[in-house]
Structure 1
């Protein structure tokens, strides 16, 4: 009889130890890596999120939530969060810049002034290029009017290096004089921003030797050269 009791006790102990060993420690999954998005513009980027808009809260929803939770605290928290969201929105800045075109006979560069609006540095550069594409005057011929800007970004390792990628349709190609004026107008327009020290200009993603087949194209184009 004692032998049977001791066998039962021993069997129970073995089962308890086995159950404890069978359990696996649960480990929390690693936190997702934080993604940093570089400052860039891409003409065909359909995945860019729309600009955030401040939407006023629905009174009925707010009242219902306040009734379920602690009324005063909930309303105060929502108000603080809403105020913070408004403060975090970038402010629109305006700047008058020099933009360079040519005359109808392509004899020389002509300087004009335009006002641009932007919320970030990359938007400032994009709108400066867009100003090169439209003079708004028949006496000032834009040399970049038919050239398409497909991508623009600031180098993540060198904030003074501006990357540009363009597409040149056949009807946008110029002669040697026009090509030189186009490069000069780009340099004089973009290098007025002190933070830009160099421009790497690509055509369809390629570092071509010449913009339109007449003039050499440096990679990058440096300020003062």
Structure 2
């Protein structure tokens, strides 16, 4: 009898141990949630909204980049150098001296010159001396080249080149020097003329008359 009771008690104890072991065993986590974090529930249509929000929204702000505007006002035209120089030039009518066709005498004629400086005034006077519009008046300096001209302290310094075809006789040489001095000494500020040939002082321009250095109003009478 005692043995039977002890057997029933042992069986009940074993059953309690089995039940206790089953109740303490943790439930297995889902295979696709290894970290134990429950994924958020996806509401129908949320995926489409998420994709739409991920796309950059088209800018509706107006383009305020400054664009150059065409001006209706035309810029004032700057004066050209030629027109400015022409406006500053002075005009003058001078006496220029030539000889007659027989080279017997000096003859004055009028010539118009335009100049912007004293140097240009004397240069233009010499250019007028080199040409004649009157067939009865002959230039005595037409074949002579003016290389340079300077002016200072009342003196004109001229450097010329005289080619062989510019050679004149004794009368022609004398008239040529007189024509030069009479033409340039009409300007009251000119007191003397230093005439050089290829940069050098020479005793005679063409080998017939003495060439003074310088020629002055007094010694050129």
TM score, norm. by length of structure 1:
0.60
Which of 103, 107, 110 is the aligned partner of 2:100? 103
Q: Which runs of 4+ in 1 moved over 2 A?
A: none
Structure number with greater Rg is: 2
1:134 aligns with 2:131: yes
Which of 114, 118, 121 is the aligned partner of 1:121? 118
Q: Which has the higher contact order (CA 8 A, sep 6+)?
A: 1
Paired position in structure 1 for 2:191: 197
Task: In structure 2, list runs of 5 or more residues that go unmatched.
Answer: 1-67, 69-74
RMSD of Structure 2 on Structure 1 (CA): 2.7
Q: Deviations over 1:88-147 (max 9, x none)?
A: 867111100000000011000001000001111111100100001101111000000100
Q: Aligned pairs, how many?
A: 148
Task: In structure 1, list runs of 5 or more residues that go unmatched.
Answer: 1-63, 65-77
Which of 157, 163, 185 is the aligned partner of 1:163? 157
SS of the residue 1:98 aligns to = strand
1:212 aligns with 2:206: yes
* Counterpart Cα distance in 2 of 1:172 and 1:121: 27
TM score, norm. by length of structure 2:
0.61
* Counterpart Cα distance in 1 of 2:94 and 2:168: 25
Paired position in structure 2 for 1:224: 218
* Counterpart Cα distance in 1 of 2:147 and 2:133: 23
* Counterpart Cα distance in 2 of 1:97 and 1:209: 30
